[in-house]
């Protein structure tokens, strides 16, 4: 069947609670595509980045997704960074969604076809004491998860003692006692001397991974930690392109990469990053504490990418979202609901979910002003998120 050519007629953005930024593209023939450009705490900046994208791409052929990406990335001279790449990611996701609807195909079908029928998923749990953590892990198990992620520590500085390590081990064991596997997120809040000790203390627990044991800008330190522990090291939510990931592949500093499809240039850019990782035998676990369109894009990636190992998923109690569930804005909630530890691969066209446009427009009448909380050490100094 021949599909008549069309052009991009409209690009809209919507700041919706709790902290999301949705993108809507409409073509001249009336087709619509949705994407997500959420950048936590910087929604207004990303909204502003859409102004030059509108000027450049309204009237452009929406089928030329790679060309649009290249022009958006390279045509402005200044490249990369979370704001520009998040805007480009939301635009690119929406283009895949629109193209899929026009041709009647899911994005994964257009990106090479399916390599799996479902993908394992994990969700966040909070809590400071072992009892709280055990209850949170039990609740996630009841929601259909077989794996969770949790904070490694409270705010920490440079030095620690065996007593501190014992407390971390107890917290992990409280979650594992509920029959779930555990990934531990350091959030880059631990400095290298302590991170090395803590990584060694955690090794007997059989963790899925330790995430950001150091910040990604400390490339040499991460490679150092990789040499002293057998626990897989994960990172990547603060990297925004294949060029950002390249040195980590070359140094062997990482075992699992976590690109965020709403920060790292979108679906196809993350597919390219994953292909680079595959050549180094590195797994992919996309970062996604975001909304339904971001997760839907991740599932499209999982469908067609051999080295995707597990998928992060946000729910209503994640990050104190005030009761806002990621399923609020879609009509086909079963598509993003885990069963026996797995999320299904969407079968519908585009990104595979149906947005409730009226609900989005209503919610965007009162745009959110979400900001990252600020954490401090016991001595009053700033602590990483």
> 157-216 pLDDT, tens per residue?
556 666 788 889 999 999 999 999 999 999 888 888 888 999 999 999 999 999 999 999
Tell me, yes or no, if 287 is annotated catalytic.
yes
Q: Does the pLDDT of residue 1 top 70, yes or no?
A: no
Angle at 164 between CA 162 and CA 166, to 5 degrees: 70
- pLDDT single digits (tens) 279-333: 999 999 999 999 999 999 999 999 999 999 999 998 653 333 444 477 889 998 8
Catalytic residue among 191, 263, 287, 324: 287
In angstroms, the first-to-last Cα distance of the chain is 51
Is 42 a residue of the active site? Answer: no
| Annotated catalytic residue within 42, 101, 187, 368 | 187
Ordered by where they begin, the domains of the chain are: 109-348 (3.20.20.120)
User: Could you please report the per-residue DSSP string of 228-274?
Assistant: H--SPEEE-TT--SHHHHHHHHHHT--SEE--BTTTSS-HHHHHHHH
- Cβ contacts of residue 75 below 8 Å, gap of 6+? 56
CA distance 107 to 352: 8
pLDDT at position 154, please? 63
């Amino acid at each position: 069947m021949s599909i008549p050519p069309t052009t991009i007629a409209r690009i809209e953005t919507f700041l919706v609670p709790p902290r999301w930024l949705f993108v809507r593209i409409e073509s001249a023939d009336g087709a619509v595509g949705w994407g997500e450009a959420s950048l936590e705490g910087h929604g207004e900046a990303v909204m502003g980045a859409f102004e030059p994208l509108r000027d450049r791409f309204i009237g452009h052929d929406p089928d030329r997704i790679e060309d649009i990406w290249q022009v958006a990335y390279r045509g402005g001279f200044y490249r990369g960074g979370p704001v520009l790449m998040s805007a480009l990611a939301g635009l690119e996701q929406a283009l895949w969604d629109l193209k899929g609807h026009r041709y009647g195909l899911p994005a994964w079908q257009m990106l090479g076809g399916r390599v799996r029928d479902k993908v394992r998923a994990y969700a966040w749990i909070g809590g400071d004491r072992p009892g709280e953590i055990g209850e949170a892990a039990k609740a996630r198990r009841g929601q259909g998860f077989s794996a969770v992620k949790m904070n490694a520590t409270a705010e920490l500085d440079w030095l620690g003692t065996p007593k501190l390590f014992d407390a971390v081990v107890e917290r992990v064991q409280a979650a594992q006692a509920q029959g779930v596997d555990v990934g531990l997120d350091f959030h880059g809040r631990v400095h290298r001397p302590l991170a090395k000790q803590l990584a060694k203390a955690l090794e007997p627990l059989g963790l899925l991974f330790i995430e950001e044991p150091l910040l990604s800008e400390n490339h040499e330190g991460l490679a150092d930690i990789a040499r002293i522990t057998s626990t897989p090291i994960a990172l990547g939510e603060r990297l925004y392109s294949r060029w950002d990931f390249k040195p980590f592949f070359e140094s062997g500093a990482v075992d699992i990469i976590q690109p965020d499809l709403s920060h790292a240039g979108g679906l196809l850019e993350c597919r390219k990053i994953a292909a680079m990782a595959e050549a180094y035998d590195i797994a992919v676990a996309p970062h996604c504490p975001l909304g339904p369109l971001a997760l839907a894009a991740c599932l499209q990636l999982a469908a067609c990418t051999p080295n995707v190992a597990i998928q992060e998923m946000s729910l209503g109690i994640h990050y104190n979202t005030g009761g806002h569930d990621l399923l609020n804005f879609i009509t086909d909630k079963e598509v993003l609901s885990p069963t026996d530890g797995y999320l299904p691969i969407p079968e519908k066209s585009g990104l595979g979910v149906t947005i409730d446009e009226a609900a989005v427009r209503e919610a965007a009448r009162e745009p959110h002003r979400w900001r990252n909380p600020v954490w401090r050490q016991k001595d009053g100094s700033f602590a990483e998120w």
